[in-house]
Structure formats: C-alpha cells, structure tokens
Homo-oligomer: A and B are copies of this chain.
Amino acid sequence: MPDPTNPTPDPSAATALTLEQAKAQFIHLWGATSASWGINRTMAQMHALLLVSAEALSTEDLMTQLQISRGNASMTVRELLDWGLVYKALKPGERREYFVAEKDMLQVTRCIIRERKRRELDAMKRSLDQLAALPGDPTEPGYREFHRVLGDIQQLADSADTVLTGVMKAEKTWLIDKLLRMFT
C-alpha cells in the first residue's frame, strides 16, 4: 500500500532507500542469519516480514511477498504460531485469517529460548541421563575417565538449563540490569 500523499521521491534524497527496500533488505538479512541457527530460511524471512509489517498479513500476502508456494506459506505460518512468535488476527466479517508478529523483542527472545531449549537442551539431557545410567563394568580401564567426561557434560547442561530458565522468567529491566552490571 504505497501512500498516495507522498508519490514523488524527494530529490535531495536521491540515494535514500524507500522503506520497502529497507524492509526487503532486513528480510534478506534475517533469513541469512537464521541459516546458521538451525531455523529454516523461509521461517526466518516470514518472521522478519511480519515483524516489520504494520498491518496483519494473510497467507495470500505472505505467499506473494515472499514468493513462496501456498503449501510452504501455510506450513511455515503454522510453525511460527507454534513457536508463539506470531498471532492470528481475525478481521471482522472476513473469512480469511490474518497474522501479526509479536513485536516485543524480549518476548520474542523468550519464545525462541523456550522452543530451542525444549528441542535441544532438554533432549540432550535426557539422552545423557540415560547413557550415564546404563550399567557398565567399573573395573574396565578408562571407565572412570569416561564417566568423568559424561558427568562434566551433564553439569554443564544443568548450568545452561538453570540460566536459560532464569532468563525466560526474568523481567526485562531486572534482566538487562543484572546481566550488564555483571559483565561490564
């Protein structure tokens, strides 16, 4: 929806980006960053698009703006809903579903920590506990050494768990305050 009250670009800003261009760059950047994070590109791009969109978007809008198929758009928006990063926004009198992003970045961080902790850290802890509990032969040479490594890793995982759980529960000001005071 280009604003008709501002149709001609300001000549003094010939090299200035339109908002649309800047948003496109942001979407691209967010998508690229996500790759190293184990989150897939489409999901990250869709999140970025919704983050910088003032209005709620429909599946149709997501498809056309990101140039992806209907199936992909549907699956990905569902996943964002699962993560809690995006909400449904039903428009009165409309059949179609619209979506808006959670814009509070601390809240976004919490959602991401919660999901990734659940999928990765918790899963790893379960496997480690299971492995450590298996009966072994303590007289084998190297048995103690192996269990020491295992124990160290478990301890590390527990610390990470405690810290992440704390971050999730913490209040914004308190958190930033404490952490920054601690390390700066």
Known: A33-B120, A127-B33. A13 touches B137 (CB 8 A): yes
A62-70, A82-90, A143-151 - interface stretch: A143-151
Cα distance A51–B6 when bound, in Å? 63
Q: Confirm or deny: A15 has a beta carbon within 8 angstroms of a beta carbon on chain B.
A: yes
- Nearest first, the 8 A-B pairs at minimum CB distance are A166-B183, A105-B152, A16-B135, A19-B140, A29-B127, A33-B124, A36-B120, A16-B137
Q: Which chain B residue has the least Cβ–Cβ distance from A151?
A: B105
B136 and A19: CB pair below 8 A? yes
Taken together, the copies of this chain in the complex come to 2
Binding site secondary structure of chain A: helix
B54 and A9: CB pair below 8 A? no
List residues of chain B with CB within 8 A of the CB of A128: 29
Contact of A19 among B103, B137, B159, B184 (CB under 8 A): B137
Query: For chain A, which range describes its interface: under 10, 10 to 19, 20 to 34, or 35 or more residues?
Result: 35 or more
Cα distance A128–B33 when bound, in Å? 11
Q: Confirm or deny: A156 has a beta carbon within 8 angstroms of a beta carbon on chain B.
A: yes
Q: Confirm or deny: A173 has a beta carbon within 8 angstroms of a beta carbon on chain B.
A: no
Q: Which chain A residues in 11-35 approach chain B with CB under 8 Å?
A: 13, 15-19, 22-23, 25-26, 29, 32-33, 35
